[in-house]
Structure 1
Amino acid sequence: MAILTRPVSEETLSAMDWQQYVLELDWSEYSIDSRFRLMPQIEQLQARDETLAAEVLTLLGHVATLVMEPRASFPFRIRSVQKKNGLDSLDQYDIECLAMMALQANDPWLRARLADVAVTAGRDRGLNQWQLGSTAVHAYLDHCEQHLLGEQGFLHTDEAIRGTRLRWVYAKRDEATYERYKQLIISGIRRGLELRHPGLYHALARDIIAQRYSFSAEVAPILEQAANQFATDENCDYDLASRAYLLAYKLWEVAGNKASANRCHLAAGQALVTRSRGTGSAMLRSDWLAEGIQLLRQARSPRQHITALWQELSDLRMGIESEMHEHEFSVDVTDIAEAARAAITGPTAWEALLQLGFLLGNWYDPGMIRQEAIESAQRFVFRSFFTQVHLDRSGNPIDREDAFDINNEEHVTRRMVAYLLEHRLDFFSKVIAPNALEVMTASHPPSFELFLEAAYLSPTAPKGHEYSLARGLYAGCTSDWHECGTYLIPQVEPFVRNLLKRAGRNTLTVGDDGIEKERTLGDMLISQDAAEILGSRLVLELRALMTESSGYRLRNNYAHGLFNDAELENVGVVRLWWTTLRLVMFPWGREYLASLNQAV
């Protein structure tokens, strides 16, 4: 919805003297609360029935709170902080008013912002505003020349990057402006290195790399020299050194200097290796060493050196286990345990199995888990800021989780699986299932022959796998989770393949060599066929149990021999036993639930 309800002429805007209302606002630092700081003036104007002036200030406040995406691809879209009321809400009246305000604005930041928004929104609507684009380019330059080299220059990198991107569109042939921007960027990088502010020099250097600017050869030696200093001076910082070397490496690559690029690549890895040999946590030091080895391998360091470092990493990881600690908290689950026990009433072993499989719950709705996982991420936002590395018992990194991005579907799926384990499946396997099993085995113990008969009669069970299924299910009833996992983990893949084939879906894929082969369990579970045939609930359950890196990873850990005997007896296997029981007995489970509903 447009902000201005009528057009504003240049004479009206000048007579309004709109800048008098923003004289006390400091535009040198980006502020998202400009709209709220303008509210008193807007309310006073509305009270005096000066509605047009109030609308102009509302438009100004809206534009000032927009967040730029300077690294986005053309056409350099801008989004609002709340991801709404952005450029799409501006119509021609708003754009024309912003263009006039940009030419009148005295402050460089405000002039740049007004011109930038007007020209970007106008371009999306087919308006030709080349002169206004040039105004934005020069206004960004004026602003950054005043503030980029200050103590808080890192707050103004977005404006510098935005200005350079716009220059390619609206001032491409202006050599003087190009030279000013070039010197500004180089000076900003030097200043950031001097202050040791990665937020300043990293942002500017990464933009040079991304845009492949021709002056990368001038910047690369600056970063390399600074990295050498970071690694050798009295305030030695190998982390800064390694990251500066990496920037120098990429800058040399852009410049086409392979020898210098490889030199910096090797130095980046060696800096992390040196850092890992200092004092501190064995877990952190092993992470640095592993990252250093990866960089050295990419830079083709001698094989003997890499081999020695792998041995050093193995020795270092031996000390991680001693650093691990467990934290336990008491929770009263008496009511839930009693409810699980009360659900198992028999009177036969067959009915007890149906009650255990279908009265203790269902597979979880992905939509509900998705919403709860996102809300949890927003509630505990600090946890989502940083990259997390997950280690096994020996300190080996088995998973890497980047900072959470709600717009990244892969991130959301990972968070959903992790949330499902932490808040649902673990609790089921530790509280609900054991209590129900205790009642069943004490009062209505099923026999191995009962499971074997069910597996033979079940249309969902894969043919030829009945004995293994029965052995695994029976082992679970006796709480022999080691044997249960040994038999049931390998049965999930044929189970899924059988269900897809029964529905007429193809489970084969053609490799690069032109030979057909069966799809893996992970490939099948993420397919549209699985979602349609198995249903989204079961797909999420099996991915959490078997394949997802943020889940139990039963399939991967078992297939690759990563479980020892003790680890095979885990809560994931308990949940897998329950899921397999439901799959085998699903036809009778539906009839049993229907009979209960009819009885009620």
Structure 2
Amino acid sequence: MTHSWPSVLAQLNIPNIIGDGFSALAFGPLIDRLKQAEADEDEDIQLVCRILACAAILHFHPDSEKTPYGSPTDNVRNRLFDRGQMTAEASTVFSAVAEHVEHSSLQARANDLLWVFAKDHAAGQRAVQHYLDVANQAKDSEEWVRDIDALVRAANLSLSLGRGAVERATVTAALEKHAQDPRLGTTWAAARLMEMLLERGAGEPVTYSVIATQYAQAAQDAQHWHLAHHYWIIASKWHSRADNTAARNAARIDAAEMRVADGETALQGGGKKLYAASWIETAIRELRGIPGTKERVRALRLQLIDLQADSVEEFGTISVPLGEEHFRNVLELARKQVKADDPTDAVIKLGRVATEQSVGALRKAAEEELSAPSLRSLFSTKYVDGMGRMKASTGTSDEARIDELMRQRQTLTHQTFAFPFLYEARTALLDEHIIHRDHLMPLLDGNPFIPAGHSYAILLGLEAGLRGDFITAASLLTPKFETLLRHILEHSDVITTSLAADGVQDSIELNRLLREDEFLEPLRRWLGEDFVFELQGLLVSRYGYNFRNDLAHGLVPDSLAQRIGELIWHAALRIVCLPIPPNASKVEETLTTPQNS
């Protein structure tokens, strides 16, 4: 088909359709015009409208030098492309539009697409000039801030073309022209331009440090704390370029104080203490290492401790609607599991119950969640101890994230299965039997997994747990896990002490025993992979309860000790009741739970 592009484009009158700019907003009017062309059976108009509509919905990232329109996989369904390459029809239409349509925004975009996807160098050069035209036309109007994307794209595009001089002069001129505009002090526009100058080593440092300080102060006066923080940081970078260390540190201090102001303003407005604490904590991190801030950091630390302690009361609960049938099944299974004529046998049966979910199932669910995009993945998670202090945050590597998600599901299993099961099993056992110490002694006497001299404390802990005093049980039993696991490892001829050069031998502590492969492998052979994973979450994992470490440092409040102490008690009982076949099937697999469904 032979196209007379000047007449086709004149007939279409694109500027009248899309208005002053070219963006995703142009999609609707172009589709309306496409429908009209289909009714008129005008194939030329249809082609142009279809191509331009497809271009309008490309995600435009002006700050990205390499992928301003996303990766090839992002555009796999866009009809502009065929197997990652721009189609001949699209290239023809963009070339015609770039040549024959007097519309700076559209010409810039058409030439830009020809450069990015067809590697037309001349088109890329034309795109730079058209983008600069858009910015220059807009900077004398009310739309300059909105159209800063054009200037940013011109800068990045000219770099990829090897034309830095025009970009540098234009960015500098645009910023200087608007340096006194008070509106820019409360927008992110100048921040973007300044960051570009800093990245390229452009701009006069003293001049721009003054401008950045003015913007920071304007945003601060307007209580736009995030924006003010950003400009203070930019000001500190300009001071660094000017070798003014004192001014740089002062700007960094001002930036940190914006974090404090953010938290305090939230509190004054009735906001949560947890939110305020997070900003105080951020301010402390930013102040560290700045000379002369030691006393300020100390004051903020005291404020943070008070806020964290008070914030614990703000934590809510998440309800999991499992239904009555699920819990009826759990309770029925618990009663059956401990049914025995002899009290000692009943306790042993409870000690042979594995309440955790399998590691394989947890990992599979975590990997599926990690691979599936969700709104939740956009936010980080903070884990706090009983005093409201952060003990961990969202993992950065995939493996750390998988471990985090596995621990979250492990905790959910405790809520939906372990806690109700153990409560009902213990209650049924006590309803059926009157348990004395004499009934527990056979579990301890001659037990090869309990080292000499430790039986009595374990006995007292197990007894306390049976009567529901899990604070006492946890206090007595938690320190014993290191001894019990070390004793188990010694049965496998694993050395559990270190030998220093001077001959001093130290026992290897629990964190290493439950984290390092040389200890984990033999423990898994004795206890099973799933139970070892359970012990990690209970005792030493920051994504789990980290109970042993928090208890040792006095960070566990009574309410948490009573709650988690039930799991600690049962874990100790399970070790006392060894041997448990490592690959024994889990009792919860007989139920239909959300995790297994």
TM-score by length of 2: 0.71
5 Å matches for 1:268-307? 268-270=255-257, 272=259, 280=268, 283=273, 286-307=277-298
TM-score by length of 1: 0.70
Distance 1:373 1:99, change over 3 A: closer
1:251 paired residue number: 238
Deviation string, structure 1 residues 287-328 (Cα, Å, up to 9, x no partner): 5444444433332125445445545555x5398369748679
1:194 paired residue number: 183
Secondary structure of the corresponding residue to residue 336 of structure 1: helix
Shift of 1:200: 2.9
Higher mean displacement: 527-536 or 56-65: 527-536
Identity %: 17
- Structure 1 distance, partners of 2:237, 2:312, is 39
Shift of 1:419: 6.0
1:3 paired residue number: none
Distance 1:373 1:303, change over 3 A: closer
2:546 paired residue number: 553
Contact kept in structure 2, 1:216 and 1:255, CA below 8 Å = yes
Distance 1:12 1:318, change over 3 A: closer
1:367 paired residue number: 364
- Structure 1 distance, partners of 2:19, 2:400, is 40
- Structure 2 distance, partners of 1:50, 1:529, is 76
- Structure 2 distance, partners of 1:499, 1:185, is 70
Shift of 1:167: 1.5
- Structure 2 distance, partners of 1:522, 1:83, is 48
Contact kept in structure 2, 1:144 and 1:159, CA below 8 Å = yes
Deviation string, structure 1 residues 193-215 (Cα, Å, up to 9, x no partner): 62554443444444444444445
2:468 paired residue number: 479
Distance 1:111 1:466, change over 3 A: farther
Contact kept in structure 2, 1:130 and 1:170, CA below 8 Å = yes
Contact kept in structure 2, 1:340 and 1:436, CA below 8 Å = no
Shift of 1:488: 5.3
Structure 2 unaligned spans of 5+ = 591-597
Deviation string, structure 1 residues 80-136 (Cα, Å, up to 9, x no partner): 8967547784325357446525623543333333333332334xxxx5x32222223
2:170 paired residue number: 180
- Structure 1 distance, partners of 2:354, 2:533, is 20
2:563 paired residue number: 570
Structure 1 unaligned spans of 5+ = 1-7
Shift of 1:249: 0.9
Secondary structure of the corresponding residue to residue 557 of structure 1: helix
5 Å matches for 1:92-103? 93-94=87-88, 96-97=91-92, 100-101=95-96, 103=98
Distance 1:359 1:285, change over 3 A: closer
5 Å matches for 1:14-163? 16-17=8-9, 20=12, 23-26=16-19, 28=21, 30-31=23-24, 38-39=30-31, 57-72=49-64, 74=66, 78-79=70-71, 84-85=76-77, 89-91=83-85, 93-94=87-88, 96-97=91-92, 100-101=95-96, 103-104=98-99, 105-122=101-118, 127=119, 129-147=120-138, 156-163=147-154
Distance 1:39 1:277, change over 3 A: closer
Distance 1:28 1:533, change over 3 A: farther
1:335 paired residue number: 325
- Structure 2 distance, partners of 1:526, 1:45, is 70
Contact kept in structure 2, 1:141 and 1:181, CA below 8 Å = no
Distance 1:265 1:307, change over 3 A: same
Contact kept in structure 1, 2:260 and 2:280, CA below 8 Å = yes
Q: 1:169 aligns with which of 142, 160, 173?
A: 160
Shift of 1:224: 1.0
**Which of 1 and 2 has higher RCO (CA within 8 Å, sep 6+)?**
2
Secondary structure of the corresponding residue to residue 468 of structure 2: coil
Number of corresponding residues: 562
- Structure 1 distance, partners of 2:313, 2:58, is 46
- Structure 2 distance, partners of 1:227, 1:311, is 28
Distance 1:223 1:365, change over 3 A: same
Shift of 1:24: 2.1
Residues 1:588 and 2:581 aligned together: yes
- Structure 1 distance, partners of 2:139, 2:510, is 53
Secondary structure of the corresponding residue to residue 288 of structure 2: helix
Contact kept in structure 2, 1:137 and 1:171, CA below 8 Å = no
Contact kept in structure 1, 2:386 and 2:555, CA below 8 Å = no
- Structure 2 distance, partners of 1:357, 1:19, is 83
Shift of 1:223: 1.3
Shift of 1:543: 5.9
Give the residue type in structure 2 aligned to 1:261: R
Q: Which has the larger radius of gyration?
A: 2
Contact kept in structure 2, 1:482 and 1:568, CA below 8 Å = yes
Shift of 1:369: 4.5
Secondary structure of the corresponding residue to residue 168 of structure 2: helix
Contact kept in structure 1, 2:216 and 2:227, CA below 8 Å = yes
Contact kept in structure 2, 1:265 and 1:296, CA below 8 Å = yes
Contact kept in structure 2, 1:27 and 1:110, CA below 8 Å = no
Contact kept in structure 1, 2:440 and 2:459, CA below 8 Å = yes
After superposition, the CA RMSD in angstroms is: 5.5
5 Å matches for 1:414-429? 414=404, 417-418=407-408, 421=411, 423-429=412-418
Deviation string, structure 1 residues 342-393 (Cα, Å, up to 9, x no partner): 2132336657755775576633523324546887x84xx4x77666766656
Distance 1:342 1:99, change over 3 A: same
